[in-house]
Amino acid sequence: MEPTPATPLVNLYDLPRAALGELLAGWGYSAYYRDLLWEALYRQQVESFDAISGLRPDLVQALRERTRLERPAPHHEAHSTDGFTRKLLLRLRDGQTVETVLMRFKGRATVCLSTQAGCAMGCVFCATGQMGFVRHLTPGEIIGQVLHVTRLLRETGESLRNVVLMGMGEPLHNYDATLAAVDTMVDARGLALGPRFITLSTVGVVPGIRRLADEDRPVQLAVSLHGATDAERGALVPAARKWPLAELMEACRYYVEKRKRHIFYEWALISGQNDTPGQAHALGQLLKGMEAHVNLIPLNPTVGYGERPSGPDAVRAFQDILAGYGLPSTVRQRRGIDIDAGCGQLKAAVERQRPSRQPTAS
Ligand code: SAH
Ligand code: SF4
């Protein structure tokens, strides 16, 4: 067996550009080399140091000895029958697997990223919540998902436009790593993704929302509500009991005021549960007069939760009530339901098939 190094090698994908600069400066290399390496990693997207031209041999040697270039590896893949959605299960260094979903629609490619293995928030309807929390992802494990899909898109001459942090995990429970990865995504010398096209979805971690507002990070914010009274919401989103709606809405108002940006509110519509006229009116009251847009997502059924999605009539009635409060809403059909493309569902399905599963390379 190989001896374990005393200090684990740095995964270069964990470092935003400034941190990479500090690392190289500590070894005596100028910002010129930082930028050369950065552009190789994120613009040319090389996968080994050998493929980078212009690096001094002594720097290549130092990088080989003290760093690693590690991306998540393909583990399992599913394609939707509509051809738009490709769902990937990627394997991390310690064998954990996370989901990344690539959606191509009308020439606009969107990736849905995971920020944690599992999730501690325990939303009863969510396949990831049903698994429990395993661990936070590192920035490199989040960026590695982006690099994986940009490589797939390059094969067909497409490029990535939208990023949604809506895969497995709660991004604001893993704030530092998630936002470090976002910094790398928007860096103009690298992936150069548009801040307007990055959406961070949170279950409503109040301190994280306030921190986002204070730091002016380059993301659009989406807040998952699912219930418009503390009792209803707490039954679906156990973590929400820690941050009552009054506190959450105060943080949202603070965010809108400081950032001058509207917030999306997400609502999984569950038949007979939170799709009632009473909840629609309560939601209308809660958001009335705020800069808000409601995304309604008919429930994607999961094995661990017996309820059903709302039917089209209930969805329409819900929207009409919201409209009465001046609230715009959009019904978001989850694409690729046939491939378990709901949050955490492919992983759950693959685990159920054990031990017969076969890793598939993409
Ligand atoms: N943890 C974050 C982001 C990941 S979940 C959050 O909760 O916002 C992304 C979105 O998918 C959330 O709005 C979540 O409530 C929703 N979601 C999860 N499981 C779902 C399901 N089975 N049906 C419909 N929406 C679901
Ligand atoms: Fe976690 Fe979001 Fe799933 Fe809730 S919906 S369990 S916060 S991933």
pLDDT tens column, 83-106: 788 999 999 999 999 999 999 877
Rounded Cα–Cα distance for residues 134 and 122 (Å): 12
Q: Angle at the Cα of 88 (from 87 to 90), degrees rounded to 5?
A: 160
Active site residue 252: no
Catalytic choice (99, 170, 232, 266): 99
pLDDT tens column, 188-200: 999 999 999 999 9
Question: 0.95 exceeded by the pTM?
Answer: no
Q: Which residues contact residue 269 at a Cβ distance below 8 angstroms, ignoring those fewer than 6 apart?
A: 275, 296, 297, 298, 299, 309, 310, 314, 315, 318
- pLDDT-derived band at 8 (thresholds 50, 70, 90) equals confident
Assess whether the C-beta atom of 266 lies below 6 angstroms from ligand 2.
no
Ligand nearest to the CA of 113: 1
Which of 145-149, 246-250, 288-292 has the least mean pLDDT? Answer: 288-292
Please return the burial class of 83, using the count of CB atoms within 10 Å of its CB with bins 0-12, 13-18 and 19+.
Answer: exposed
Q: Give the residue carrying structure tokens 């917030």.
A: 263
pLDDT above 90 (res 5) = no
- Residue from 121, 172, 241 to probe ligand 2 pocket by mutation (most atoms less than 8 Å from CB): 121
Cα 88 to ligand 2 centroid, rounded to whole Å: 19
Assess whether the C-beta atom of 123 lies below 6 angstroms from ligand 2.
yes
Q: What is the pLDDT of residue 362?
A: 29
Average pLDDT over residues 101-123: 92
Assess whether the C-beta atom of 204 lies below 6 angstroms from ligand 2.
no
Atom of ligand 1 nearest to the CA of 344: 19
pLDDT tens column, 331-341: 987 655 555 55
Ligand nearest to the CA of 174: 1
Q: What is the pLDDT of residue 81?
A: 77
Q: What is the pLDDT of residue 108?
A: 86
Cα 272 to ligand 2 centroid, rounded to whole Å: 21
- pLDDT-derived band at 357 (thresholds 50, 70, 90) equals very low
pLDDT tens column, 36-79: 999 999 999 999 998 898 999 999 999 999 999 999 999 999 88
Rounded Cα–Cα distance for residues 224 and 100 (Å): 20
* Cα atoms in the 13 Å half-sphere on the side-chain side of 62: 14
Helix, strand, or coil (residue 48): coil
